[in-house]
Amino acid sequence: MEIERNLNSYAQMVRWFSPHLLVLAAYRDTVARIFGEFADQRGIQHVADPIPTDEELKKKFCNRYDYSGEAGGSTPYWVDFAADLGDGFDSTYSVAYLLAADKLHPEQARTTGGIRGIKGLAGSEPLEHGRLLILSGDEVYPWPTHEDYELKTFKPYAMALSEPAIDPQTGRLPPASRHVFAIPGNHDWYDGLNAFDDQFCRARAGTGGGMRFGDWETRQHRSSFAIKLPHNWWIWGADIQLNDLLDPGQLSYFRAVAEQMGPEDRFILCTAEPSWYALGTPAERFARQNLNGLIEAPIRRGAKLCGIFSGDWHHYSRYNESQALGNMNLITAGGAGAYIHGTYHLKRKLDFEWVGKTLEFRLDRKLEPSGSDTEPPKQTTANACYPSKATSYRLALGNWLFPFRNFGFCLAVGIVYWLLTWTFATLRIDFWLEVPKDQQITRGLIQTPQAVRECLEPTQRPQQQRTRSNVATGDVKSCLLDPGPERNGYRPFNGTGRIEDWTLQLIDFYIADIKAATSFKQMADNTGYLFLKCVHLLLLGMINSVGAALFLFGIWFAFFAITQSKYRGKRGLASRVVVATLHHGTHLLFMWGLYCAFAYFNNTWLERHLDTLAGTSASAAAPTLLLAPVPFWVSFIYPFEMVLIGGTLGGLIFGLYLMVTYIFGKVNCDWLFSSQRLDGYRCFLRMKFEPDKLTIYPIRLDAVPPRTGWRWRRNPGPREPLVEPISPLKPRLIEGPIVIRPDEVRNIART
C-alpha cells in the first residue's frame, strides 16, 4: 500500500450538507435498500462459505477464529473496540495512533511516543495494545468505495502502525501482529456491501489471509463473526444490514457457534447499531427480535452474555442494569473518526424488553475514577456519557454558525428562495388595495409600473423606453385613475397587475404611513396591515396559478418529509405537520420579507443610482456606461441578492430549526451534528479479558490535532508510526474502568 507523503492529500471531514452529497445520499440510500432487499450479500456469503454438516468440520468451522491459546493462566488478553471511522484524516488518525501505540500509560507516566498518560487512570500498570481490533460498523464515510476505504481507513491505520521489516529468510512480510474484525454499518452497506466484502472478507477467497494494511490484517470470511478468546471469552459480531434484521444464514451461523459453547463460556455481543436506542421507534420490534434471536441459543446452553457494544452513534454512552441481570452494560462507542454526536437527548433510563422481561437500564450510573489502583471507581448518579449532556447542549447552541459551515447548502436554499419569489412575483392577479384618503397617489405610486406613471404624470416622464413591457397594464392604470368611493378614510383600488407591482405599491404606502405615524400603535397597525396584505397577495397567487401552488406545496412537503418526531402514530403525524408548517412558514416569512426589501431597494435607490450612472438625459438609443438598460440591471441583480443573502438567512433559519428541535424536542441529533462536522470528542474502548473478569477502559480524546499539527517522523522503524503529533495527544478515561465479573452476571433465558 503506497503512502502519499503529502498530508493534505488525505481526507477532510465529510461535508454532509453539500447539495451534491445530499442528492447522492438520497440516491445511494435508495439503491442500497433495493440491493439489500433483492440481493442481500449476507445470503451470498452464506452460500459461498457454508456451514459444514459434518460435526467435526462444523466444530472447526465455528472455532476458526480461535485465539484461546494466545494467553494462558491468568495472563490478560487485550482487545480494542472502535467504531465509525474513516472520515477526516485528523480524527481517524488520532484514534488509530492511540490504538496502534504499544502501550497507553497511566496519568502519572511521562509522555511516551507523542501520547500523555491517560488522565484519570491511576496506578502504574500500562494498558497493552489490543491483539485484536473490533471495528463495530461504519468503517468509511460517506460511501464504501474501494478508493475511500483505502484513503480514509486503511492508509491512516497503516501509517499509525507501519509494516514490519521483510523476513530475510522467506523474503516476505512477517504475519501481522494485529488482527482486525469488522462488522458493517449502514455506510458500509451503501453499495450493497460489495466493497466491504472485498476488503474485509478476503479470507473467504482461500488465500490464507485477509486484507493487509501496515501491521494490521483482516481475518474474517463473512460480515459477521464469532471469535474465541482466551479464558473462555467470546466476541460475537452481528451484521444487521440496513433493514435492521438478521438473515437466516447468519442466525444459523451463530446457532452453530452456540452449540460449541457451554456454561463455562461468556461472551460479548457487538452490533453496528445500539438496538436499545430504537426503543419507542418503529424499529423497536426488530431490535428485540434481533437480540432474542442472537442470545437465546447461547444463554439456553448456560453461556453468559456479559455486555453488548455498538457503534453507529458517534459518542459514548453506557446503560446499566444490575437488579435483574447482576451487571449488564449496553455500551455505545462510535467515536473513532466520524463527526461527533451529542448526548443531550439520551434518556436517563430505558425500559428494555429483555428476552421476555422488561428491565430498567440506567444511564445515570457513571463510575467516577477513584484515582487509586487499589480502590474501585465510585458509582455516582452522573450520566455515563461522553461528551457530557452539558457539553452537547453547548455544542448544539453553536449551530447558529450553520451558514458559515455549510455554504453550498445555503446557496441551494438561496436558489429555491429566488425561484419561489420569482414565480410568485411575476404572477398577475386581481387585487384590492386601500389607500389613506389624504395620501397623494403620485407620492404613493412613485415606483408603480411605468404605464401608471405615464398616465399620472405624462409630461414628466421622458424615459418611456424603460417601460417594462410585461408590467404595462391598462387595468392597473384604470383602477388607479378611478378609485372607488371613500370608506372609513380609505380609497379603494381594484385592478389586475403583477404581484411584484402590487407589493411595491404596498411598501410605498407603508413607508408613507410609517413616516406619518404619530404613535407606536399606528406603526404596529400599519405593519400588521402590510403583513396581512402580503399574505393576501401570496394566497391570490396560489389561487391564480396551479404551478405556483404546487411549488409551494412541494416545498412544504419536503419540510414535512424531513421533520422528525419522537411520537408515533397520529400524534407523531400531527406533530410533524405542525412543525413542518411552522418551519415552512418561518422560511416564507423571512423569504418574502427579504423579497420586499430587495424589490423596493432595487426599484428605488438602485434604479435612481443606475439612472444617474447611465445618464438620464442621454437619448434612448445612445450607449451608456452600463451597456444594458437600467431595468435589465435592476432585474439582473435580484437573483444574486436573493441567492447570497436569502440563502444565508435561509441557512441560518435551518440551523436554528435543527438547534431548537434538538434542544426542545430531542430530535434531529444526527442532522444537527453532521452539519457541524466536529472532529474532536473521540472515543474507543480498550478491554482486558481475564479468567474472572473483563475490564473495560473507555478512553476519550477531547481534541485532535489539525492537519498542520502532524509531522512525518524521520526514519521510522518497522511497526512504528510514520506520522506523529507535534504536540502530544491527551487521552483521558471517560469513566471507570468498568469491571464485569461473569460470576455476578445473571442471564435470563426466555421461559
CB of 243 to Fe ion, least distance (A): 17
Nearer to Fe ion, 61 or 143 (CB): 143
> Within 13 A of 665's CA, how many CA atoms are on the CB side?
20
Nearer to Fe ion, 87 or 513 (CB): 87
Nearer to Fe ion, 77 or 141 (CB): 141
- Give the Cα separation of 623 and 606 in Å (integer): 19
- Give the Cα separation of 106 and 124 in Å (integer): 6
- Name the residue among 188, 198, 252 with its Cα closest to residue 51: 252
Nearer to Fe ion, 366 or 682 (CB): 682
C-alpha cell at 550: 404546487
The interaxial angle of helices 630-641 and 569-601, nearest 10 deg, is 150
Question: Looking at this protein, which amino acid is placed at residue 28?
Answer: R
513-516 contacts, C-beta under 8 A, 24 or more apart: 513/436, 513/439
- Give the Cα separation of 535 and 528 in Å (integer): 11
Contact 329, 318 (CB under 8 A): yes
Chain residues in the site for Fe ion (CB under 5 A): 84, 138
Helix, coil or strand: residue 349: strand
CB of 284 to Fe ion, least distance (A): 20
Nearer to Fe ion, 670 or 720 (CB): 670
Nearer to Fe ion, 221 or 315 (CB): 315
Q: Which are the contacts of 700, defined by CB distance < 8 A and separation ≥ 6?
A: 316, 335, 386, 681, 682, 683, 731, 732, 733, 734
CB of 146 to Fe ion, least distance (A): 19
CB of 237 to Fe ion, least distance (A): 16
Residue 660: burial class (beta carbons within 10 Å; 0-12, 13-18, 19+) = middle
Plot region of 113 (φ>0 → left; ψ -120 to 50 → alpha; else → beta) = left
CB of 108 to Fe ion, least distance (A): 35
Nearer to Fe ion, 138 or 679 (CB): 138
CB of 153 to Fe ion, least distance (A): 13
CB of 253 to Fe ion, least distance (A): 25
- Give the Cα separation of 487 and 423 in Å (integer): 34
CB of 314 to Fe ion, least distance (A): 6
Phi, psi of 316 (to 5 degrees): -115, 135
Nearer to Fe ion, 312 or 434 (CB): 312
Nearer to Fe ion, 138 or 284 (CB): 138
CB of 410 to Fe ion, least distance (A): 25
Contact 444, 505 (CB under 8 A): yes
Contact 275, 291 (CB under 8 A): yes
CB of 338 to Fe ion, least distance (A): 5
The residue with its CB nearest to Fe ion is: 138
Q: What is the torsional sign of CA 464, 466, 472, 478? A: negative
CB of 274 to Fe ion, least distance (A): 11
Nearer to Fe ion, 140 or 734 (CB): 140
Contact 739, 700 (CB under 8 A): no
- Give the Cα separation of 407 and 460 in Å (integer): 46
CB of 673 to Fe ion, least distance (A): 11
Nearer to Fe ion, 230 or 335 (CB): 335
Rg (CA), the chain: 33
Instruction: List b or e across 603-616, with b for residues whose CB sees 16 or more CB atoms inside 10 angstroms.
Output: bbebbeebeeebee
Nearer to Fe ion, 80 or 138 (CB): 138
Contact 740, 693 (CB under 8 A): yes
CB of 184 to Fe ion, least distance (A): 11
Nearer to Fe ion, 32 or 694 (CB): 32
